[in-house]
A and B are shown apart, each in its own frame.
Chain A
Amino acid sequence: MNQQYTYSDEHISAYIDNELDSEERAQFLSDEQTDEDFAQRINEIRMLKEKVQLSYSELKYDDDEKKSFSCTAFFSRHRALAASLLLLSVVAGILSYNMSSNDNLMVAKQLMTETQPISAASINDAVGENSHVVLYVSQYQPETFDETIDNIEALLQNRSDDFFKLEIVANGQGLKALDTKSSLHAAQVNQLTNKFNNLKVVACAKSLTRLATEGNPIQLMQSIMIAPSAADQVAKRTSAGWLFLKI
């Protein structure tokens, strides 16, 4: 029997698109092998499908289009969403933008890794007469952080002049001190930043991203700022003559 008159084109399309159940499919396969005209009809539609697939396969969403997507209309209208969607590319872009001075960055990294941490009690002495200080926090020990906050508050009260600036830069485990979900100290830090205009607390975007992708997102208070990376922020400050301290 010539099968080409028993199957509609819609039915053949369903066969090619893998929409038939196994019984119907088996029947089609059998008929395709025994009826040349029917096989020809199937083949024409199959080739058409392949041509459509091929026609757009070379189309690429190139980097230039991605850049314009992230940085122009989309971002200006919906920056919060854009930042979320394009987090990796945005962070990478900021990093490359800011890290113009490799030397400063290298020095900063060296300072951050090799400087000996000071105790909370010695913060005031370590600051001395310096008017611009960057305090690096890479660890969080809840049991001793009360003392750290107390000493920072005392320092800021002593140095209430407009010339004095203290910037706390946190990354890695240090960010946990700022996590509103798990740290009792997050609210205290927030109070300090609200109380003292010359205090800024900066979180490292790189670490935040890493923690978020590991499933441990940090929730920050609104007053906490974010820098592309802790090293970059420290480089920016130390290259401008700020005193570097690590706690």
Chain B
Amino acid sequence: MVTETKILNSIKNLLMLSPNQRKLCKRLEEGRGRLFRMAYAWSHNKDIADEVVQETMIKAMRSVDSIKNVEALDSWLFRILSNCFYDLCRKRRDEIDIDEITLLDRETPESVHLQNEMLESVKSAIACLPIKHRQVLTLIDIESFSYAQVASILDVPQGTVMSRLNRARQSLKKILNESEKNHNNKAILKVIK
């Protein structure tokens, strides 16, 4: 009952929201899944992704009135997401090395095999990339942001975005090729046995 009262009293706040905040509420409702997917692509851990999304939403609501161009909400939200992701990684420095994240949510080998093996290997390969490359690659390929938008989200020059993207794609290609070779070798060994 106490919780209920708190919830209801809190609803009052909605009625006093600014137009930007109301617009953001709607956008967050629609876009929470996208934020979560991106945070997961960076962390490969659902708990971390969930926490990052929560913090992002809180920070977004607090500072939404500072936005002049409401149409640029998407880039702005993903910039907050990126900052929250780094903040969390800093907080949990002892627990997480953001450049050595493995697929913590990876399922059993059997289930992976049953699922789409190719897609799992792509995810594993992405998880091997340095975080800065991983961020650029996923923002462009998954969310289809332009280079200029990614530069704004990550607060780096556009040239840096292009070179990180290029290196990310080169590394990804190399990892996937090696993975494919290993897979073929294993298959051959299996046949001999």
Q: A residues engaging B (CB < 8 A)?
A: 8-10, 13-14, 17, 19, 44-45, 48-49, 51-56, 58-61, 65-66, 68-69, 73-75, 77-88, 90-91, 94, 97-98, 205, 208-209, 212, 217-220, 225-228
Contact = CB atoms under 8 A, between A and B. Distances in A.
Contacts of A77: 58
B140 A17 contact: yes
A35 B98 CA distance: 41
A226 B12 CA distance: 8
A13 B14 contact: no
A212 B22 contact: yes
Given A45-B169, A81-B62, A14 B13 contact: no
Interface string B27-48: 0110011001100110000100
Contacts of B172: 48, 52
A52 B118 CA distance: 11
Contacts of B62: 81
Interface of B: 4, 6-17, 21-22, 25, 28-29, 32-33, 36-37, 40-41, 46, 50, 53-54, 57-58, 61-62, 118-119, 122-123, 126, 137-138, 140-142, 146-147, 162-163, 165-166, 169-170, 172-173, 176
A209 to B, nearest CB: 7
26 contacts: A9-B169, A10-B166, A17-B140, A17-B146, A17-B147, A19-B147, A51-B176, A52-B126, A54-B119, A56-B37, A56-B142, A81-B13, A81-B61, A83-B11, A84-B21, A90-B11, A94-B4, A208-B14, A209-B11, A209-B14, A212-B14, A217-B17, A220-B15, A226-B9, A226-B11, A227-B8
Nearest to A19: B147
A53 B142 contact: yes
A74 B58 contact: yes
Given A84-B17, A84-B25, A56 B40 contact: yes
B58 to A, nearest CB: 5
A82 B7 CA distance: 9
B7 A61 contact: no
4 cross-chain pairs, A with B, having the tightest CB-CB distances, nearest first? A83-B10, A52-B141, A61-B33, A61-B36
Given A52-B138, A87-B25, A205 B37 contact: no
A158 B20 CA distance: 47
Given A14-B147, A65-B50, A94 B7 contact: yes
A174 to B, nearest CB: 16
A14 B8 contact: no
Given A19-B146, A87-B11, A55 B119 contact: yes
Nearest to A58: B119
Contacts of A209: 11, 14
Contacts of B21: 84
A17 B40 CA distance: 22
A49 B141 contact: yes
Given A14-B162, A54-B119, A56-B37, A48 B169 contact: yes
